[in-house]
Structure 1
Amino acid sequence: MRALTGKQKLAWVVITVVVFVWSLFPVFSILMTSFKTQAGLFEPQLLPPEWTLENYESILAPGGSAQGLFLPALRNSIGISLIATLVAVVLSTFCAYAIARLDFSGKRLILITSLAVSMFPVISIVTPLFNLWRSIGLYDTWLGLIIPYLSLTLPISIWTLAAFFRQIPWELEQAAQVDGATPWQAFRKTVVPLAAPGVFTTAIIAFFIAWNDFVYGISLTSTSAARPVPAALAFFTGASQFEEPTGAISAAAIVVTVPIVIVVLLFQRRIVSGLTQGAVKG
């Protein structure tokens, strides 16, 4: 492979910096807005003319104007997203293993169907799902969100893990069975450890999908019992009917975004490793 020249390296550095700034500028703008006073929101400048923590106090401090909305929603988002991710990863692991290892008719149809489900517009099924959930008692419950979230997380999980399982040598599992392991033991002790990077990557992607959902969260909940953060932000109110809670919404957005950014930065090598290994054609 030919080494890059000095001009090519400089060009790649410039492109990287431009993409980096372009991607992070909206987050930086929201961060600065979260530190502005209500009067400072109308100032035509990026940095706050007067720094304040009142927006964070309103969503986190006891007695804050939005604390009763944000903290329960944050708890709901964490719990619902983690459970949906766990269920999706477990189910997709077995499904992807069967697709990659077993020879049966219809497995291509399963992959196509899962892809079609992921492409189906969510808004078109919210109304029927709303009526069904109201009838069977799942409306405004954790389970009522976890089940729809699986329709978002399972397809991408199946596709990612199926590609990854195809890269694991079949001979390793056969050798374990020759040594006396049952098919389940060979799967659990041989295949799963080798698939750990792919499973980890899939779990992170599935969690992000569940964490960022707005349509199901706003449509299938009515109280703080199960309402997630993206939906709760729509219910923030200002001190009066004429005041927009822009600062509080920005502070809440930063609180729920920063942990995700930290997770990606900490595990970016695992994420890239899992995606690239699954993308190599065996």
Structure 2
Amino acid sequence: MNETRTKIGTWVGFLLILVWCLLPVVWIISLSFKGPNETAAGSPQFLPKKPTIKNYDDILSNSDFQDSLINSFGIAAISTFLSVILATLAAYAIARLEFKGKRLVLSIALAIAMFPVVALVGPLFDLWRTLGLFNTWPGLIIPYMSFTLPLAIWTLSAFFREIPWEMEQAAQVDGATSWQAFRKVIVPLAAPGVFTAAILTFFFAWNEFVLALSLTSTTQSRTVPAQLSYFVGPDPFNPPYGQLATASVVVTIPIIIIVLLFQRKIVAGLTSGAVKG
């Protein structure tokens, strides 16, 4: 009897959490199918009375939104690639080599990752204007890497520490150089950690808002989160809620696809880092 009650309570709690998490998502999707007249109503219905895809037509045909979507993909992909490459090399050195100040390096990396982004906006704005990096892709990629690289180093160093040192030594005994042993033996074994670091890095670069808004001035390099703040209605009291919701749905779709396609590797990477070390 007690076991049955426990199962019922578990399922009830699971359903409540599921509803709590998915309700805002369902509301945004519902809002994306509503017309301007319905979203401007004083008490709009949860489900659209007259569903329409006009918002999707307007968003997908908006040249500014298309440019910002390309910027988001390009900047996030480049930031992820560079961060993972540099973090892999740095994490391997931290895990395998003994040198003074190793703990200090990890502590500084963690402190940088936790540093408030808004505190860097002013100095970066002046510096980037002077160096000609304002409103450019490198002007966003560099600060993105300053936050994603420490997180990737922390994630990967835990994986490298758990790989047996003897496997690398065996490869070197068989005639492999240090670089060949690292590339052909160590990196494949650390693949779950590398993939986890890449996913976390990509998500940060894809969703970042403050730097993308402050360090850009046109759609030349402005990403989607920043571009959404420029979606204004006919007056300040009537924002285009339907278009904002539609843009949010469109931007979320790539993330959902990535998670669904690689969910096993994501879970494997996260759980491996949790149970080891």
TM-based fold match above 0.5: yes
Indicate the SS of the match to 2:36: coil
Report the Cα distance in structure 2 between the residues aligned to 1:209 and 1:8, rounded to whole angstroms: 38
Query: Which residue of the other structure, out of 13, 28, 31, is the alignment partner of 2:29?
Result: 31
Do 1:167 and 1:280's aligned partners in 2 also have CA atoms closer than 8 Å?
no
In the alignment, the residues of structure 1 paired with residue 13 and residue 93 of structure 2 have an alpha-carbon distance, to the nearest angstrom, of 42
Which of 124, 129, 135 does residue 140 from structure 1 map onto? 135
Q: Which amino acid aligns with 1:57?
A: D
2:183 aligned partner: 188
Answering whether residue 247 of structure 2 is matched by residue 252 of structure 1, we say: yes
Shift of 1:194: 0.7
Partner of 1:160: 155
3-state SS in 2 of match to 1:140: coil
Q: Deviations over 1:61-86 (max 9, x none)?
A: 3xxxxx02211000000000000000
Letter aligned with residue 113 of structure 1: I
Deviations 1:222-265 (A, max 9, x none): 00000000000011122456531111111000000122122213
User: Which residue in the other structure is 1:207 paired with?
Assistant: 202
For the structure 1 residues 271 and 172, does the alpha-carbon distance in structure 2 shift closer, same or farther, using more than 3 Å as the test?
A: same
Counterpart-to-counterpart distance in 2, 1:281 and 1:110: 21
Distance in 1 of aligned mates of 2:259 and 2:13: 21
TM-superposition CA deviations, 1:211-230 (whole Å, max 9, x none): 00000000000000000000
Asked if the contact 1:76–1:226 (Cα under 8 Å) also holds between the matched residues in 2, the reply is yes
Change (3 A) 1:13 1:266: farther
The answer for unaligned runs of 5 or more in structure 1 is 62-66
Instruction: Name the structure 1 match of 2:44.
Output: 44
Give the match's secondary structure for 1:224. coil
Query: What does residue range 1-282 of structure 1 map to in structure 2 within 5 Å?
Result: 5-41=3-39, 42=41, 43-61=43-61, 67-239=62-234, 243-282=238-277
Total equivalences in the alignment:
274
The CA deviation at 1:8 is: 2.5
Superposed CA RMSD: 1.4
Equivalent position amino acid for 2:68 in 1? A
TM-superposition CA deviations, 1:26-80 (whole Å, max 9, x none): 111111101001111124321011111111111113xxxxx02211000000000
Q: How far did 1:106 drift?
A: 1.2
Paired amino acid for 1:196: A
Q: Distance in 2 between matches of 1:253 and 1:227?
A: 16
Name the CA distance, whole Å, in 2 between partners of 1:189 and 1:5.
Answer: 50
- Secondary structure of the residue that 1:191 maps to in structure 2? helix
Question: 1:19 offset after TM fit, Å?
Answer: 1.5
TM superposition outliers: structure 1 runs of 4+ over 6 Å: none
On the 8 A contact 1:152/1:210 being kept in 2, the answer is no
Can you list the C-alpha shifts for 1:62-119, whole angstroms capped at 9, x where unaligned? xxxxx02211000000000000000000010011111111111111111100110111
From the superposition, tell whether residues 5 and 169 of structure 1 become closer, same or farther in structure 2 (CA, over 3 Å): farther
- Secondary structure of 1:5 counterpart: helix
Q: Does the 8 Å contact 1:81/1:211 carry over to 2? A: yes
**TM-score normalised over the length of structure 2:** 0.95
Task: Tell me, in whole angstroms, the C-alpha distance in 1 between the residues paired with 2:140 and 2:44.
Answer: 40
Aligned AA for 2:90?
C
TM-score, normalised with respect to structure 1 = 0.93
Percent identical residues: 57
